[in-house]
Structure 1
Amino acid sequence: MKLKIIHETSYRYDQPVRGLVQSLRLTPSAHEGQRVGDWSIAVTDGERGAAFRDGAGDWIEAWTVRGPVDEVTVTISGLIETRDTAGVLRGHRETINPLVYLRDTALTKPDAALRELAQSVSGEDALDLAHKLAAAVSEAIAYVPGVTESVTTAAEALALGQGVCQDHAHALIACAHVHGMPARYVSGYLHSNADGTPHDAAHAWAEIHVGSLGWVGFDAANACCPDDRYVRLGSGYDAQDAAPVRGTTFGSGEESLDVRVQVEEMEQEQ
């Protein structure tokens, strides 16, 4: 599938700030399931700094904006070709040992209820267990936008029984950890839901390290593994660690945020 992506994030301040520094994880991962074509990142009045590929295989760029400024827009546009690898992350170069992803964070730490949910599931092998854990999370947490926040933990989402893709990913990571399986949070884009409904926002899912297969993606929010509708940006311990945009603002102005994402399928060349 050939996809065109436009992603705009606008930051507005009620009074001018002296400037800001941002770390952007906004270039799609390089692996067998996707090939990046033309891809550009622009920051209003920004200066591009150092760029590097980290140990997890993600491309990171530093940007600086010198103020005074009351609005900054980060714009990403590009083309990418994807193919279905049944969720298996092949050909992705990274140097971090998967065992580091056994680490819990404040957002993924399992409580008694998450442990009970995880332990209620068993599988014939690691892959079967991972699939069943994803199904259990999907059933336990209904997809309901607007009921949780960015700081909602996996335990809180499970207690509520509702949440969004971030909550499903955090809960699945927590359940995988209960079984001693490395798991991590993945940020990216989704062209459409399983029923064909266009998806007009950034998306997230989890990856679980499954024996010789390595990393395998599981989207509990949509009860499936990532296929050619998905574009993988980067990964981390949780949503905060894998955030596509991280940064520091210098000034006392109150910040407001507006995000627009458009993922469009392009016609294939004959």
Structure 2
Amino acid sequence: MRCEIRHTTEYHYPKPAWDSFNQVRLHPIQEVRQTVRSFHLHVTPEAEITSHKDYFGAIVHQVHVHDHHQHLLIEAQAIVDTHAVTLPVPAPFSVLRGSRAKNTEFLVPSPRVPAGDWPEIFEVKRPAPSDDLPSFLEDLNHTLYRRWAYDSKATTVSTSLAEFAQLNRGVCQDFTHAMLGILRQLGVPARYVSGYLYSGGEMVGAEATHAWVEALIPGYGWLGYDPTNDCLAKEKHIKIGHGREYSDVSPVRGTYYGGGQGKLDVAVHVYGEQ
């Protein structure tokens, strides 16, 4: 599937700001599941732009506006071809034993996904070593979708995992952190994915960057699960990058001098063609 993405981030300041520095993670990653055909980053006013790859392999742009300004526009445009996903064969939970030592960073607690009895808190039965891992992952994806409601106004970027468990509603970030917490407590390496979603009006979460989970299935690799929409991450999911949690892959963040309390506007448009 060919997907065209346009992502605009605008800051408006009541007073002149200067030395605005932003880290921008909006460049889709090149991997087996997708091919990046083009990417362009446009910034107004004129800015110094450099780039590097972060620890997890995502392309990060540094945008530095030196001069005084009251409006900052960061616009990313990309064309990406996504490819079909094959399904894993059955495999017992016991196959994970040899993979955990090499993936500890996706098993240990992090600030937004702390240690806790998350399987019990989210009422998920702990599997036996002989239980099928792919089936469990699919069932967990469905359980979170069925029991918790998507509500774009229920939580904020700072809502904790424990608060989400009590609220019973939230956004894709919350669903993803919940699935990560459960899987890591069960010894399944799992990572947070930031990206885009072409919904065609069928799924939620396409109005901004989207989030989902990638779980490790030994012998297969990493497979994406979207608990917000109760589906696998297939051709309609365009990946930017992955990390331990949201903080590792936040789309745009930065600092500036002066300016006062700025206003932020974000718009994401994804067009798809089979």
Is this a same-fold pair by TM over 0.5?
Answer: yes
C-alpha offsets along residues 117-161 of structure 1, whole Å, 9 cap, x if unaligned?
Answer: 365242623322322222222223211221111111222111110
Cα deviation for residue 230 of structure 1 reads: 0.9
Is there any run of 5+ residues in structure 2 with no aligned partner, and where?
A: 89-101
Give the 3-state SS of the residue equivalent to 1:22 in structure 2: strand
**Which residue number in structure 2 is paired with residue 91 of structure 1?**
none
Give the 3-state SS of the residue equivalent to 1:7 in structure 2: strand
User: In structure 1, which of residues 122, 128, 136 is the aligned counterpart of residue 127 of structure 2?
Assistant: 122
Cα deviation for residue 10 of structure 1 reads: 0.3
- Cα distance in 1 for residues equivalent to 2:164 and 2:126: 19
Q: 1:70 to 1:48 in 2, by over 3 A?
A: same
**Which residue number in structure 1 is paired with residue 92 of structure 2?**
none
C-alpha offsets along residues 219-260 of structure 1, whole Å, 9 cap, x if unaligned?
Answer: 000001111111000112211221121222222511211011
Matching residue's letter, 2:112:
L
Native 8 Å contact 1:122 1:132 kept in 2: no
1:16-35 matched pairs, under 5 angstroms: 16-35=16-35
- Cα distance in 2 for residues equivalent to 1:80 and 1:249: 32
Matching residue's letter, 1:103:
V
**Which residue number in structure 2 is paired with residue 40 of structure 1?**
40
C-alpha offsets along residues 63-107 of structure 1, whole Å, 9 cap, x if unaligned?
Answer: 10113111101101121111221588xxxxxxxx52211132232
- Cα distance in 1 for residues equivalent to 2:229 and 2:247: 21
Native 8 Å contact 1:118 1:175 kept in 2: no
Cα deviation for residue 195 of structure 1 reads: 3.1
Matching residue's letter, 1:215:
W
For the aligned residue pairs, the C-alpha RMSD in angstroms reads 2.4
Cα deviation for residue 197 of structure 1 reads: 7.8
Native 8 Å contact 1:25 1:60 kept in 2: yes
**Which residue number in structure 2 is paired with residue 53 of structure 1?**
53
**Which residue number in structure 2 is paired with residue 139 of structure 1?**
146
**Which residue number in structure 2 is paired with residue 109 of structure 1?**
114
**Which residue number in structure 2 is paired with residue 9 of structure 1?**
9
Q: 1:131 to 1:46 in 2, by over 3 A?
A: farther
- Cα distance in 1 for residues equivalent to 2:203 and 2:211: 18
Native 8 Å contact 1:18 1:66 kept in 2: yes
Matched, 1:176 2:183: yes
- Cα distance in 2 for residues equivalent to 1:180 and 1:19: 44
Give aligned-pair identity as a percent.
28
Q: 1:121 to 1:142 in 2, by over 3 A?
A: farther
Cα deviation for residue 165 of structure 1 reads: 0.6
Is there any run of 5+ residues in structure 1 with no aligned partner, and where?
A: 89-96
- Cα distance in 1 for residues equivalent to 2:221 and 2:65: 39
